[in-house]
Structure 1
Amino acid sequence: MTAPLLTLAQILNRLTLTARWTLRDHQPGSDGRCPLCRVPDCAVATAARNLLTTLRQTRWTGDGDTLDPWQSR
């Protein structure tokens, strides 16, 4: 679905998948360099790692720590 009516969850899921694919493609080889960029410290892989870290830190897990906004106290 490429319609402009994607939910936030769908957008976050697509960002997560894209970052994971990027990390897989930019996995350092035996010489420690990125196989696509041919540099030891790949900026693309770093950006993908940072995105996944940010998504992991900000995603609500539903463990009960946060009060549901529709739920009364």
Structure 2
Amino acid sequence: MIIGATREGKKKLLTVDGGYRESKESWSGVLRSLRDRGLQGLRLTVADGNLGIWSAFGEIYPESKEQQCWNHKI
């Protein structure tokens, strides 16, 4: 699941998709789909410590800064 936030702080559900063990390939497919549907201008990505999502974001949205979720960091 990917949730976005507007500049005003309003949350928007962007996509829900099943994947295989949170792999880079699964996340890459989800992110490519969002990109191809027009999602652009990501400024910050907050996610858990899963390496698959970070690898995929680095390839599909390299301009987005990364931050690990505080709950998962602790």
The structure with the largest helix share of the pair is 1
Same fold (TM over 0.5): no
The structure with the largest strand share of the pair is 2
Q: Radius of gyration: which is bigger?
A: 1
Using the size of structure 1 for normalisation, the TM-score is 0.28
